[in-house]
Structure 1
Amino acid sequence: MSEVLDLSFGNCDPSSVISRYFPSVQNVDQNFVNQFLQIQDNLNECLSKNDFLKPPVKYIYNPTEYASKTNQIYIKKYCTGPKKILFIGMNPGPFGMCQTGVPFGDTYWVKNWLQIDGEVLKPLKECPNRPIFGFQCTRKEQSGDRFWNLFSELCTDPEKFFNCAFVYNYCPLAFMDGTGRNLTPADIKERKNLELICDKYYHEVLKLLQPEVIVAVGDYMEKRTKAVFKVYEFTNSIKLFRMPHPSPRAVNNQNWSEKAKRFLEQHNLMEFIL
């Protein structure tokens, strides 16, 4: 593996730092990147006006805010224009995106394959059982480990994957109960309000990225994508497929990598990433 770069920006312009270390993004469409970041900022602002801290939710983390430096490196490096295929996940995992700011963001793969590292701050209220260590986190994020391991095997280098693809999370918030147990968006009492907000900005992301194919990672995101299609009356022919979620907690999911490869082959998706 090549040396990992710690891109702590200090007072520098992040785009200048990134282009210096990653020549492939020197010709970034900055307007496109800014539009994407603005959608994310608008989503966060809208979410902040709602109270999701109702039982069983005790803690809420938003890594797109406290891990904004590395989250923005990910976007500036890998989301520089429209994408043919969008892999859409649900929300941050406690040992993945919560630690790194990157979807399915197991620290090993974010540092050593995506080549992203940097300063990660703390959420406003931290759960004692789910501390944020950033890139010093040593616990594996199992879903992220499986996800990025697969695509590193298929694509060799991340530029091949991200040339036509992007990975994004529908909801930027992670929810936990008082013990630190992970709660999904489907588990919270304010689910309807949460989904109304996230649906709206998911639609904005789709308009910007203009994907030909959406790969919903898991059942929940297949349902939410269908709901967005219905509410916003998409007239363009975006194909929607559901990919098995890489979580080892899913039933009969020990051979996820083989299932995922078959899925990509069956739906003729290899051409987008190879």
Structure 2
Amino acid sequence: MLVSDRILEFYQSLTPPSKLPKKVETLNPYQSDAGWEATAQFYQKYYADNNSRRMLFGINPGRFGGGITGVPFTDPLLLEEVCEIKNTFNKRAELSSRFIYEMIENYGGPKAFYSKFYITGMSPLGFVMDGKNLNYYDLKDWKKIFEKDMINWIKEQLTFNIDTSIAYSIGQGQNLKFLKQLNDKYDFFEEIIPVPHPRWVMQYRLKRKQEFIDEYLLKLS
């Protein structure tokens, strides 16, 4: 079975945590025809092999990026213009996606990058509350809600021929802290390395963007 087949099988099986509050809406693009078609085209294009890859863990998909396209940190605009996967989604740019794809371009382009790396989220499903993106750790009792599912999600994704010597946390705050806690307990990876969150860079450190792209490239090398 190719890596692409395993990834698509995983995404198709996803369900939100059973203890998720009713006021929270789940973003699951893999249940829509357009989202599934985009996801399938992407992974069949870049992951139809048995390459070993390192994982990068974001927080969870957002409503203008992976929460629509099914591809982490990839908005509909970049999916079409850079990955050359046509789609009917609203072509709205998303800040984090812009940073990630500038970094990918500096790395050598999508084909080179995705042959070596697999991006996911601590939660591969996104969440919205009151019409706004919601980070999993912003919910009260979030560990009780998410921990069991996240452990299972990580274990399942490790079957994608993942290189477990190093994993990366996209974000240096709560996401990093929780990934390290789980890793200390379950020894998923030998080392966890943090990289700055793209949204933080684009909102607060835009003039230093290239510096942070270079940091990614150095740590990923």
Name 2:100's counterpart in structure 1.
Answer: 147
Find 1:259's aligned residue among 197, 209, 212.
212
With normalisation by structure 1, the TM-score equals 0.68
User: Deviation at 1:51?
Assistant: 4.4
The equivalent residue for 1:189 is 140
Count residues with an aligned counterpart.
Answer: 214
Larger Rg: 1
Per-residue CA deviations over 1:7-42 (Å, capped at 9, x if unaligned) read xxxxxxxxxxxxxxxxxxxxxx53x43333333334
Task: Please say if 1:61 is aligned against 2:13.
Answer: no
State the 1:98 CA deviation: 2.1
Alpha-carbon distance, 1:190 to partner: 5.3
1:107 matched to 2:107? The reply is: no
Tell me the secondary structure at the aligned position of residue 260 of structure 1.
helix
Given the superposition, is the C-alpha separation of residues 209 and 65 from structure 1 closer, same or farther in structure 2, using an over 3 Å criterion?
A: farther
Task: Using structure 2 for the length normalisation, give the TM-score.
Answer: 0.83
Equivalent residue letter for 2:37: K
Specify the alignment match of 1:138 in structure 2.
91
Say if 1:246 and 1:256, in contact at 8 Å, map to a contact too: no
Structure 1 distance, partners of 2:84, 2:203, is: 32
Deviation per CA, 1:63-88: give whole Å up to 9, x if none: 23221111122222223324332222
Conserved? CA contact 1:63–1:172, under 8 Å: no
8 Å CA contact retained: 2:55, 2:162: no
Instruction: Specify the SS of the correspondent of 2:160.
Output: helix
Question: Structure 2, unaligned stretches of length 5 or more?
Answer: none
Larger strand percent: 2
Structure 1 residues without counterparts, runs of 5 or longer = 1-28, 120-133
2:176 to 204, 216, 222: 222
> Residue 65 of structure 2 aligns to which amino acid in structure 1?
G
* One-letter identity of the residue aligned with 2:94: E
Q: Give the Cα separation in 1 of the matches to 2:160 and 2:211.
A: 32
- Say if 1:203 and 1:228, in contact at 8 Å, map to a contact too: no
Structure 2 partner of 1:130:
none
CA contact (8 A) 1:84 1:213 kept: no
Is 1:37 aligned to 2:3, yes or no? no
Change (3 A) 1:233 1:166: closer
> Could you report, residue by residue, the CA deviation over 1:100-142 in whole angstroms, capped at 9, with x for unpaired residues?
22111122221111122336xxxxxxxxxxxxxx2xx232200
Q: CA deviation at 1:263?
A: 4.2
- Which of residues 67, 74, 77 is equivalent to 2:45? 77
Aligned residue identity for 1:193? I
Describe the SS at the equivalent of 1:99. Answer: helix
Give the RMSD, CA atoms, in angstroms. 2.5
Q: Tell me the SS of whatever aligns to 1:208.
A: coil
Please tell me the residue identity of whatever aligns with 2:93.
K
Q: In 2, distance between residues paired with 1:249 and 1:176? A: 22
State the SS of the aligned residue for 1:214: strand
User: How many angstroms apart in 1 are the aligned matches of 2:86 and 2:185?
Assistant: 38
Tell me, in whole angstroms, the C-alpha distance in 1 between the residues paired with 2:103 and 2:187: 34
- 1:120-139 equivalent positions in 2, closer than 5 A: 134=89, 137-139=90-92
